[in-house]
């Protein structure tokens, strides 16, 4: 019998998550999917009514429960850009103000409901969520993807998933170099992250069992703009052809325990191939991207949140991405400068099977201490 005291197991901290949703642009789907027929959407712990003005074609997002007597506005009708409640026909403007009550002389002063700024870019619809109720921050609008407008690319193919976890788990992925091998069967050769203001980027190169053919390289540049909208430019291969795609991974919290992900793919059309063949290729590539993605989904659906991850020296900068991400859960005035400062971290790759191919032994990977 040894006298050595038995080492105590590591204690996982997993505090309940506060009910606050991130400030920033959240994508609700493709522009083409919205009309003046209102749609109900359950996000940010609420029910929302989303519709286009029948006159101005603008997208409006309102809280869906009518403060008069609680009817569901998403079951109402739109006329003159206003949403009419199906119960007593009060009509609500896209600015949240009551515009008309057909049987009253005076509209009560308090007759205002929650309304959310929207924008449309890259064929996608976005809603601005801000617990402080401020207007969108001017430099945080999603950037235009010129390829989308060039005519040389297919439109987005989008698949939607509901994940039973807090959406913070998804964002860890940006720094989580070590999951690519075990979860995606991809070999990572280089891995780098850059944080800058409201953006966080992951640069990766290696091989990918699903999205690139054997012996073919795979590169990916994935960038979050704000807390919830990520686009990736990937180069992989299929049927011997180089495939260049933009991947969309965008999420919206349903509540603190559930979120929806929209996974989208658009592909640079291959020259000399018909529209139908290009569409068939992007469909097939989307299926493969979905296949790769559900590997993450299965992990998320079954994991817990670890506030104090037990990290090792080979891990990517998980705490760095978490700190960066925390800015979206603070009032703007409270954000410490460091969370938005420019920072670069290259993660030293120790996988034997990855380094064999890399030929990049001279790359001086600084092993910087992980921020704790």
Q: Return d(Cα 89, Cα 357) in angstroms, integer.
A: 67
Partner from ligand FES, Fe ion, none binding residue 296, C-beta < 5-8 Å depending on class: Fe ion
CB proximity list for 357: less than 8 A, separation 6 or greater: 187, 189, 207
Q: Which of residues 219-258 bind ligand FES (CB under 6 A)?
A: none
Size of the site for ligand FES (CB under 6 A): 9
CB nearer to Fe ion: give 51 or 180: 180
296 binds Fe ion (CB under 5 A): yes
* Among 9-17, 85-93, 318-326, 343-351, the segment contacting ligand FES (CB under 6 A): 85-93
* Interaction partner, residue 188 (ligand FES, Fe ion, none; CB < 5-8 Å by kind): none
Task: Decide if 229 contacts 250 (C-beta within 8 A).
Answer: yes
Q: CB nearer to ligand FES: give 99 or 348.
A: 99
Length reported for the chain: 372
| Binding-site string for ligand FES from residue 55 to residue 84, where x marks contact by CB under 6 A and - marks none | -----------x-xxxx-------------
Answer for which of 60, 90, 126, 128 binds ligand FES (CB under 6 A) is 90
Query: Residue 85 binds what, of ligand FES, Fe ion, none (CB under 5 to 8 Å, by partner type)?
Result: ligand FES
Binding mask 344-363 toward Fe ion (x if CB under 5 A, else -) reads: --------------------
Which residue, 83 or 211, has its beta carbon nearer to ligand FES? 83
Which of 87, 161, 203, 351 touches ligand FES (CB under 6 A)?
Answer: 87
**Residue in 231, 224, 211, 201 with CA at minimum distance from that of residue 290:** 211
Q: Beta 218-225 vs 199-208: how paired, if at all?
A: antiparallel
Whichever of 85 and 222 has its CB closer to Fe ion, that residue is: 222
- Per CB under 6 A, does 85 bind ligand FES? yes
φ, ψ of residue 79 to 5 degrees: the values are: -140, 145
Q: With contact defined as beta carbons under 8 Å apart, do 252 and 228 qualify?
A: yes
| Contact of residue 66 among ligand FES, Fe ion, none (CB under 5-8 Å per partner type) | ligand FES
Q: Which residue number, 96 or 181, has a Cβ lying nearer to ligand FES?
A: 96
170 to 189, contacts with Fe ion by CB under 5 A?
Answer: 173
Residue 69's binding partner out of ligand FES, Fe ion, none, with CB under 5 to 8 Å set by partner kind? ligand FES
Question: Binding segment for Fe ion among 12-20, 29-37, 141-149, 294-302 (CB under 5 A)?
Answer: 294-302
Nearer to ligand FES, 87 or 329 (CB): 87
Cα(181)–Cα(199) distance, integer angstroms: 25
| Comparison of 43 and 92: residue with beta carbon closer to ligand FES | 92
Residues that bind Fe ion (CB under 5 A): 173, 296
Residues that bind ligand FES (CB under 6 A): 66, 68-71, 85, 87-88, 90
């Amino acid at each position: 019998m040894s006298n050595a005291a038995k080492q105590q197991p590591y204690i996982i901290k997993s505090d309940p998550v506060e009910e606050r949703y991130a400030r920033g642009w959240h994508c609700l789907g493709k522009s083409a999917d919205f009309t003046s027929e209102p749609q109900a959407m359950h996000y940010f712990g609420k029910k929302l009514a989303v519709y286009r003005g029948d006159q101005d074609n603008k997208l409006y997002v309102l809280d869906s429960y009518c403060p008069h007597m609680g009817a569901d506005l998403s079951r109402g009708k739109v006329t003159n850009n206003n949403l009419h409640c199906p119960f007593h026909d009060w009509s609500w403007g896209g600015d949240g103000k009551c515009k008309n009550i057909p049987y009253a002389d005076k509209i009560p002063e308090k007759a205002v409901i929650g309304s959310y700024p929207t924008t449309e870019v890259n064929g996608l619809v976005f809603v601005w969520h801000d617990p402080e109720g401020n207007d969108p921050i001017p430099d945080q609008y999603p950037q235009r993807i010129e390829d989308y407008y060039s005519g040389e690319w297919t439109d987005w193919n989008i698949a939607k998933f509901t994940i039973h976890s807090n959406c913070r788990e998804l964002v860890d992925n940006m720094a989580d170099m070590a999951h690519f091998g075990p979860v995606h069967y991809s070999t990572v050769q280089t891995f780098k992250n850059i944080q800058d203001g409201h953006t966080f980027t992951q640069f990766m190169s290696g091989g990918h069992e699903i999205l690139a053919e054997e012996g073919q390289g795979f590169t990916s540049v994935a960038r979050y703009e704000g807390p919830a909208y990520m686009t990736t430019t990937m180069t992989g291969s299929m049927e011997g052809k180089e495939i260049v795609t933009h991947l969309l991974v965008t999420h919206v919290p349903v509540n603190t325990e559930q979120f929806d992900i929209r996974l989208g793919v658009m592909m640079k059309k291959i020259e000399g191939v018909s529209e139908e063949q290009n569409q068939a290729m992007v469909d097939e590539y989307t299926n493969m991207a979905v296949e790769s993605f559900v590997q993450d989904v299965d992990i998320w659906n079954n994991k817990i949140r670890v506030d104090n991850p037990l990290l090792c020296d080979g891990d990517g900068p998980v705490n760095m991405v978490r700190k960066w991400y925390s800015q979206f859960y603070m009032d703007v005035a409270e954000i410490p400068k460091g969370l938005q400062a420019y920072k670069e971290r290259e993660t030293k790759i120790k996988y034997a099977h990855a380094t064999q191919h890399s030929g990049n032994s001279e790359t001086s990977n600084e092993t910087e201490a992980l921020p704790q």
